Amino acid sequence: MMADRLDVVIVGAGFSGMYTLLKCREQGLKVQVIEAGSGVGGTWYWNRYPGARVDIQSLEYSFGFDEKLEQDWRWTERYAPQAELLSYANHVADRFDLKKDICFQTKVTAAHWDAAVDGWNVTLDSGAVIPARFVVMATGCLSVPTDVTFPGIEDYKGTIHRTSRWPHEGVDFSGQRVGIIGTGSSAIQSIPIIAQNAAHLTVFQRTPNYSMPAHNGPIPDSDFQEWLADPRAYRARSRATVGGFWNEARDEAIAIHTAPDEIADELERRWGWGGFRLLSGFADQAIDPQANKIVADFVAAKIREQVKDPKVAELLTPKDHPFGTKRPCVDTGYYATYNRDNVELIDLRANPLEAFTATGIKTTQRRFDFDAVVLATGFDAMTGAIERVDIRGVGGETINEHWAAGPETYLGLMVAGFPNLFLITGPGSPSVLTNMIHSIEQHVEYVASIIASLNASQAGRIEASIEAEQAWTDHCDQTAAMTLLPQSNSWYMGANVPGKPRRFMAYAGGLHTYTDICNAVRGKGWQGFVIARGDQVLSESRVFDSLPPPPENMAPHLMEMAMGRVMNWMQEHGRA
């Protein structure tokens, strides 16, 4: 069944999809959103596990595009809980009357390029096909759980819950023996709450993570007053940072040149403030392993302070990756939870999980009986939701074929050979290294400006050139190589999905730099893009050279270290 032709099909009704819908409507475009869930909110619709909340302060993790919206909404806590975030998503949808253009409980299964009409045929799981000029994949970076499974899991008679697919009615664990697999952010947020609810909780840990306290509570008065005085300036300050949130980065402070008591004071101050401020105390901690170890040792000492049993503290201390190279967690009472009598930590490295049984889990050394097991085992990040749609571009090439060696994009927004297909926070975008709302706003506004510009010139399509895609992908790889980021087996690297190619998938140059690059690309008449209508090429600028200038303030020894790594990368990849 073929529907009427639309201007835009948007896949996903999280914050990305909702804002894209609004921006498309502003241009009078015929647009439809397709959403697998039965409501808006994306991440905050699906992840309803106990303790789920943001790790970026809500004053910053919220839309800034509409001052009235901003003024009318009041967050109750520094780090809003999932239910409040979902209410916020619904508030935005209702305020702008978005739901009437969203088709819920429907999946996009395929999108095939039709060169004859410069457009896409989008197939839904109902079998319907929607022709549309543009497709926007607002499908989320962390929306598809990994396919992880365990031998014998089908024989288990208890209940199994995934944190990312939590029942809407909630789960009452009272009186139950519960096991949880995983110690990433989802587990670290839910473990303290499940431990309070369940009779007994067993945590199966394969790799310990660094976690910092949220110190959640009312929004600090100083922040709130600053926000009230000038919300625009408050936002602008966040957007002009690497991460899209204010974290007091000290770009010139060098840990290895700082006296130990000064380092301790600075880290203590940041730990006391809570959240991600520990990531930016010193300019060298993300580049120099020696500096990184200083911060890692500080966190290790904090773990020992909080966990009474030294053996458990030791097990909870990360040893296999530099601090900050996996997304650190932000918790409320995580480490102290291990002081409870009803909580046990099992080290899966020493005691590997063999199988599920009818009554629980069997490791190489023990059998455990559980009424319920929680899988907090993570996501097929960045590419998972895109690759699960059968996307075929020019000549029938699939996106999975195009990304066989790892995802390659131009600016994280478009893929060569896939005209008029936009990714929001796709691989190659700063996305998951930032306050996602600010990345989303930047991407959506940029994509809207591309569409407006095409329409103004009556162009039929825009496509990233293969040269620009290669140059951007190299720039992303090299930017990551300057840092310690590629040195861990993180989901940023695709390392959590067996067989997934290893590539650092986000742009590590910072949201501020990325925004400048995008603006330069537009200023040069859409550099790196080919714009056409039918057989006629209207403008063609295949080369991308809007690279950022070298960092101005970087200490010489750090620059040398970073450039040495880039040279190694270039040699390994035949770019020298």
Residues lying near ligand FAD in the complex (CB under 6 A) are found at: 11-17, 34-37, 42-43, 45, 47, 52, 54-56, 61, 107-108, 138-143, 186, 385, 389, 424-425, 435-436, 440
Binder to ligand N01 among 258, 306, 377, 420 (CB under 6 A)?
377
Q: Smallest gap, in angstroms, from Cβ of residue 182 to ligand FAD?
A: 12
Q: What is the largest CA-CA distance in the chain?
A: 72
Q: Which is nearer to ligand N01, 121 or 207 (CB)?
A: 207
Radius of gyration of the chain (CA): 24
Partner touching 286 among ligand FAD, ligand N01, none, CB below 5 to 8 Å by kind:
none
Report the residue count for the chain: 576
325 touching ligand N01, by CB under 6 A: no
Q: Smallest gap, in angstroms, from Cβ of residue 253 to ligand FAD?
A: 25
Q: Which is nearer to ligand N01, 186 or 306 (CB)?
A: 186
Q: Smallest gap, in angstroms, from Cβ of residue 384 to ligand FAD?
A: 9
Q: Smallest gap, in angstroms, from Cβ of residue 307 to ligand FAD?
A: 24
Binder to ligand N01 among 119, 184, 275, 333 (CB under 6 A)?
184
Q: Which is nearer to ligand FAD, 34 or 316 (CB)?
A: 34
Q: Which is nearer to ligand FAD, 143 or 541 (CB)?
A: 143
Residue with tokens 């949220």: 214
Which amino acid belongs to residue 331? Answer: D
In this structure, what DSSP letter does residue 419 have? T
- Closest residue by beta carbon to ligand N01: 184
What is the distance between the alpha carbons of residues 20 and 136, in angstroms, rounded to a whole number?
8
Q: Which is nearer to ligand FAD, 42 or 407 (CB)?
A: 42
Q: Smallest gap, in angstroms, from Cβ of residue 12 to ligand N01?
A: 16
- Exposure string over 190-226, b if 16+ CB within 10 A, otherwise e: bbbbbbbebebbbbbbebbbbbbbbebeebeeeeeeb
Q: Smallest gap, in angstroms, from Cβ of residue 507 to ligand N01?
A: 16
Q: Which is nearer to ligand N01, 258 or 332 (CB)?
A: 332
CA torsion angle for 108, 114, 118, 119 (degrees, to 10)?
-10
379 touching ligand N01, by CB under 6 A: yes
Site string (57-76) toward ligand N01, x via CB under 6 A = --------------------
Q: Which is nearer to ligand N01, 258 or 488 (CB)?
A: 488
Partner touching 156 among ligand FAD, ligand N01, none, CB below 5 to 8 Å by kind:
none
493 in Cβ contact with 499 (< 8 Å): no
284 touching ligand N01, by CB under 6 A: no
Candidate segments 97-105, 185-193, 231-239, 417-425, binder of ligand N01 by CB under 6 A:
185-193
Partner touching 435 among ligand FAD, ligand N01, none, CB below 5 to 8 Å by kind:
ligand FAD
What 3-state class would DSSP assign to 257?
A: helix
What is the distance between the alpha carbons of residues 567 and 576, in angstroms, rounded to a whole number?
7
327 touching ligand N01, by CB under 6 A: yes
Q: Which is nearer to ligand FAD, 62 or 202 (CB)?
A: 62
Candidate segments 112-120, 132-140, 359-367, 376-384, binder of ligand N01 by CB under 6 A:
376-384
Q: What secondary structure does DSSP assign to 498-524, as a single string?
A: TTPPP---S-TT-HHHHHHHHHHHHHT
Binder to ligand N01 among 136, 178, 181, 374 (CB under 6 A)?
181
Partner touching 496 among ligand N01, ligand FAD, none, CB below 5 to 8 Å by kind:
ligand N01
- List, in sequence order, every residue forming a beta bridge with 103; answer none if it has no partner: 34
348 touching ligand N01, by CB under 6 A: yes
74 in Cβ contact with 47 (< 8 Å): no
Candidate segments 15-23, 176-184, 251-259, 264-272, binder of ligand N01 by CB under 6 A:
176-184
Candidate segments 184-192, 249-257, 514-522, 524-532, binder of ligand N01 by CB under 6 A:
184-192
411 in Cβ contact with 509 (< 8 Å): no
436 CB-contact burial (10 Å; exposed 0-12 / middle 13-18 / buried 19+): buried
Q: Which is nearer to ligand N01, 191 or 253 (CB)?
A: 191
What is the distance between the alpha carbons of residues 92 and 201, in angstroms, rounded to a whole number?
38
Tokens of 383: 């590419």
375 CB-contact burial (10 Å; exposed 0-12 / middle 13-18 / buried 19+): buried
Q: Smallest gap, in angstroms, from Cβ of residue 178 to ligand N01?
A: 16
183 touching ligand N01, by CB under 6 A: yes
Q: What secondary structure does DSSP assign to 34-97, as a single string?
A: E-SSSSS-THHHH---TT-B-SS-TTTSS--S-HHHHHH---SSSS-BHHHHHHHHHHHHHHTT
382 touching ligand N01, by CB under 6 A: no
Binder to ligand N01 among 285, 306, 317, 496 (CB under 6 A)?
496
330 touching ligand N01, by CB under 6 A: yes
Q: Smallest gap, in angstroms, from Cβ of residue 254 to ligand FAD?
A: 28
What is the distance between the alpha carbons of residues 265 and 158, in angstroms, rounded to a whole number?
49
Q: In terms of Cα–Cα distance, which of 539, 547, 544, 513 is closest to 527? A: 544
In this structure, what DSSP letter does residue 398 have? B
List C-alpha distances in Å: 320 to 204, 276, 377, 406.
17, 20, 18, 24
Residues 6+ apart with CB under 8 A from 387: 380, 399, 400, 403
Q: Smallest gap, in angstroms, from Cβ of residue 442 to ligand N01?
A: 19
Q: How far is CA 26 from the centre of its chain?
A: 27
Partner touching 184 among ligand FAD, ligand N01, none, CB below 5 to 8 Å by kind:
ligand N01
Which residues here bind ligand N01, judged by CB under 6 A? 54-55, 142, 148, 181-187, 189, 206-207, 327, 330, 348, 353, 376-379, 432, 491, 496
